[in-house]
């Protein structure tokens, strides 16, 4: 399948991408397939659906929370670079820090970012909770890494009050799946947590029961 064909799922929902963004997105397929042969960063069954299940899924965050120029965003537990790499392509004028506790995954992120010419990404081999006192951010993002209560416990001390996005005040924006009721209840912040169906944003079968979840930084 040609790169252009594989990008059709992206073109379906985004028709205003620059030539640079299209080139960077187009390079991801070969890069991740190559790295997946060395380090299993994406499940074997999902690698053929990279653009739908990983890239487009990551970009659901951009629909719910468009970021302002100059925003600083942390990707907690980025793994092989999701959602951070696709979002960094979409927001070249934002600063992205992609953190993960597994060094070989950060190596993949560094190599992919360098190969596609992303100048706005810093990949750090660390746990998010160890960044306290070293970095601050406007937003934190994450994808299927840990329970919401843990993500908030790690991310909240790093997030500044204010608003560096078009729609939502600073906070945590993460991608979650399944029944979220108990998970949201465990945060103790049920009244302020918001969730949107990814399937409503991108009506593809693979996004059923997947959600964008947001917790604002209020204090």
Residue 128 assigned ligand-binding role: yes
Q: Is the backbone of residue 81 left (phi > 0), alpha (psi -120 to 50) or beta?
A: left
Query: Which sign does the torsion angle of CA 132, 137, 141, 147 carry?
Result: positive
Give the H or E element holding residue 46: none
Q: What is the Rg, in whole angstroms, of the alpha carbon atoms belonging to the chain?
A: 16
> Hunting for tokens 């299209």 — which residue is that?
22
Are residues 99 and 76 in contact, defined by beta-carbon separation less than 8 angstroms?
yes
Backbone dihedral angles phi then psi of residue 196, each to the nearest 5 degrees: -125, 140
Helix axes 19-38, 103-116, angle to 10 degrees: 150
Residue 177 assigned ligand-binding role: no
Residue 60 assigned ligand-binding role: no
Residue 99 assigned ligand-binding role: no
Residue 77 assigned ligand-binding role: yes
Per-residue CA distances from 213 to 65, 114, 168 (Å): 11, 30, 12
What are the binding residues for S-adenosyl-L-methionine? 77, 82, 128-129, 143
What are the binding residues? 77, 82, 128-129, 143
């Amino acid at each position: 399948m040609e790169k252009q064909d594989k990008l059709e799922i992206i073109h379906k929902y985004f028709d205003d991408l620059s030539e640079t963004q299209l080139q960077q997105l187009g390079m991801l397929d070969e890069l991740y397939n190559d790295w997946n042969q060395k380090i299993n960063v994406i499940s074997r069954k999902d690698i053929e659906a990279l653009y739908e299940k990983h890239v487009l899924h990551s970009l659901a965050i951009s629909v719910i929370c468009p970021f302002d120029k100059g925003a600083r965003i942390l990707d907690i537990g980025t793994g092989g670079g999701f959602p951070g790499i696709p979002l960094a392509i979409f927001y070249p004028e934002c600063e992205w820090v992609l953190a993960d506790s597994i060094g070989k995954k950060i190596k993949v992120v560094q190599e992919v970012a360098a190969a596609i010419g992303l100048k706005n990404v810093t990949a750090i081999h660390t746990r998010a909770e160890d960044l306290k006192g070293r970095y601050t951010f406007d937003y934190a993002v994450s994808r299927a890494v840990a329970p919401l209560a843990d993500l908030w416990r790690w991310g909240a001390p790093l997030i500044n009050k204010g608003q560096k996005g078009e729609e939502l005040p600073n906070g945590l924006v993460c991608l979650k799946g399944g029944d979220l009721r108990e998970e949201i209840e465990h945060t103790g912040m049920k009244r302020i947590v918001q969730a949107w169906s990814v399937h409503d944003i991108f009506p593809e079968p693979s996004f059923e029961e997947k959600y964008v979840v947001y917790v604002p930084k209020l204090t």
